Chains A and B, each alone.
Chain A
């Protein structure tokens, strides 16, 4: 059997070669290039055609069959066909067709066709073969028709501008607020068109929109432009500064919290003070023997020029001596914001008094002795 088919194939190939020679022999004969292939190669690659496309009529028929089947199922189960929900369907199917298969997706399924057949482009041409869209043969009909429409709007606006110039009328120049809006992202646009596009295509489209928006009379096509822009709420990070609180004696005070490495501190700053600072019930001279730490504590007051004017009571825990000093500094700076004008708050922010220090201890990595230190390298 194998030998016979091989002989047949060899004969076919031989015939083809002989034909070539005969055709090429005569003078001025047309040379036909006959490609010698085997039958295996000529078989159409069925998998390469992509996912199967469904016509609209097919989907509609499936929906009708589903609804009919749902009513039959309800009758079978002895329930009311009108109030038969999807959960009832699932239960009925599980009862009528019990399946011991492990994979849930392999078990019998009865769902609405829109869930079963994936959302995709239905077949783009009618019964006579003529495509519906005039840009079908470009391959990317939605994207190119979008470009075509946008360019048409651009031409309209330019024509309107030319008319106004011809009549010597002033062109409207109301600045469109671009700060509060953004263009649709590539993914959002792809969802809108139900068609994939490349990054170049997307950037080209955005450039065209920008060009349209930049024209003086772009208000003419405001509605069209709004289809592709989204509102971005202005997220001004306005941190609320707490107002001053008053204790029983009538003295104004304010609290602040701060962290540095693993130390966390809370500071209560009182007005009309003498510059007394207490940490965990202990005076700072005793709690922080090192000058550097005390300097850190006093920095916010020194910056604002209020050294002898405020009293401070703080509690701090965790960390080491330097970390605790830094935590208290941040806490006191936050507390002082309530006593001070907005301009001075901005100065403090620029000086770095209100910024949380993000530096923490870096972890040790495997294969190394420390976070950065590698093991000693030995040549041999």
Chain B
């Protein structure tokens, strides 16, 4: 499953640009146990399997256009000297030694990532926003609070994921999805959370700039992570997706309850 995606990324022009149907997310977050007890099992399964049949159940494509990405300066990368070797497939070209990111690819990746976020939020998964950029720390934390999810924009203590039962206490639930608004930490090295999430089998979404390593990230989004406009756009998109998914879930549950009540009567 990973191999065709890598091939497509390595030589984008050789493969068709039509986005593939959404693959079923491999590490499926367990449905919240509290919900399972209140309704019959069949309805629960229907609620959870229904969204997976559609390629874009949450109509994530209409949230943004290529022009929005361009206006938010998402295509601007770093200088040629900072370029990471694995980011070369995602770069459209280089103008006056500044790398320009291919926005067509960014569109596809962003759609995949937002779709995945929506599915995770629909199933009641814990989403953790991570960014180590000091200028956007407050913005990211506010976004997370607005969605009802979690954020970590501070110093990453060593064993947060790998030693969670000792640090937080027995029975802690780890996040089901990590969203990186910037994959580098303050010393321009890959954030420790990428490796830790890979160790704990937690899927990650990450905005990768031209100087970042996209290797261990499940859904990379090639794009600018330094401009305020770009980061505000990402925050807005993620916030809208998560809220939309949660509202959809509540609506579906309400509809199911009404239906079961009607059937019972």
Chain A residues in the interface with B (C-beta under 8 A): 48-50, 53, 123-125, 127-131, 134-140, 144, 148, 151-152, 155
Q: Is the CB of A148 within 8 A of B150?
A: no
Q: Is the CB of B150 within 8 A of A134?
A: yes
Q: Is the CB of A127 within 8 A of B152?
A: no
Decide yes or no: A134 and B157 within 8 Å by CB, A48-B166, A128-B32 being known contacts: no
Q: Is the CB of A135 within 8 A of B151?
A: yes
Contacts of A127 in B (CB 8 A): 33-34
Q: Which of B141, B165, B166, B171 is in CB contact (< 8 Å) with A135?
A: B141
| Among A48, A131, A135, A137: residue with most chain B CB under 10 A | A137
Say which size band chain B's interface belongs to.
20 to 34
Complex: chain B residue closest to A131, CB-CB = B150
Contacts of A144 in B (CB 8 A): 154
Q: Is the CB of A49 within 8 A of B152?
A: no
Chain B residues in the interface with A (C-beta under 8 A): 32-35, 124, 126, 128, 138, 141, 144-145, 148-152, 154, 157, 160, 165-173, 175
Contacts of A130 in B (CB 8 A): 32, 124, 126, 173
Decide yes or no: A151 and B172 within 8 Å by CB, A50-B166, A134-B144 being known contacts: no
Contacts of B154 in A (CB 8 A): 138, 140, 144
Complex: chain A residue closest to B128, CB-CB = A137
Q: Is the CB of B32 within 8 A of A134?
A: no
| Among B34, B35, B138, B169: residue with most chain A CB under 10 A | B169
Decide yes or no: A137 and B173 within 8 Å by CB, A127-B34, A128-B34 being known contacts: no
Measured CB to CB, the closest approach of chain B to A118, in angstroms, equals 15
Q: Is the CB of B160 within 8 A of A152?
A: no
Complex: chain A residue closest to B167, CB-CB = A139
Decide yes or no: A148 and B141 within 8 Å by CB, A48-B166, A128-B124 being known contacts: yes
Q: Which of B150, B165, B166 is in CB contact (< 8 Å) with A136?
A: B150
Alpha-carbon distance A123/B172, docked complex (angstroms): 9
| Among B148, B160, B170, B175: residue with most chain A CB under 10 A | B170
Complex: chain B residue closest to A49, CB-CB = B170
Q: Which of B145, B169, B173 is in CB contact (< 8 Å) with A134?
A: B145
Contacts of A134 in B (CB 8 A): 141, 144-145, 148-151
Contacts of B175 in A (CB 8 A): 137
Q: Is the CB of A125 within 8 A of B173?
A: yes
Contacts of B128 in A (CB 8 A): 137
Alpha-carbon distance A277/B60, docked complex (angstroms): 103
Measured CB to CB, the closest approach of chain A to B150, in angstroms, equals 5
Q: Is the CB of B152 within 8 A of A137?
A: yes
Alpha-carbon distance A211/B141, docked complex (angstroms): 21
Decide yes or no: A155 and B34 within 8 Å by CB, A48-B166, A53-B169, A138-B152 being known contacts: no
Contacts of B169 in A (CB 8 A): 49-50, 53, 123-124
Measured CB to CB, the closest approach of chain A to B243, in angstroms, equals 15
Alpha-carbon distance A148/B137, docked complex (angstroms): 9
Complex: chain A residue closest to B147, CB-CB = A134
Alpha-carbon distance A128/B37, docked complex (angstroms): 12
Alpha-carbon distance A148/B153, docked complex (angstroms): 11
Q: Is the CB of B165 within 8 A of A49?
A: yes
Contacts of B150 in A (CB 8 A): 131, 134-137
Task: Report, nearest first, the 9 A-B pairs whose CB atoms are least far apart.
Answer: A129-B173, A128-B32, A128-B34, A134-B145, A138-B154, A137-B152, A138-B152, A139-B157, A127-B34
Alpha-carbon distance A207/B42, docked complex (angstroms): 57
Not counting A49-B166, A124-B169, A151-B138, a sample of 12 additional A-B residue pairs whose C-beta atoms are within 8 angstroms of each other reads A49-B165, A49-B169, A128-B33, A128-B124, A129-B32, A129-B173, A131-B173, A134-B148, A134-B149, A134-B151, A137-B150, A152-B138
Contacts of A138 in B (CB 8 A): 152, 154
Q: Is the CB of A148 within 8 A of B34?
A: no
Complex: chain B residue closest to A46, CB-CB = B170
Measured CB to CB, the closest approach of chain B to A29, in angstroms, equals 16
Complex: chain B residue closest to A44, CB-CB = B165
Contacts of A49 in B (CB 8 A): 165-166, 169-170
Q: Is the CB of A139 within 8 A of B145?
A: no
Alpha-carbon distance A127/B173, docked complex (angstroms): 11
Measured CB to CB, the closest approach of chain A to B249, in angstroms, equals 13
Decide yes or no: A148 and B166 within 8 Å by CB, A137-B150, A138-B154 being known contacts: no
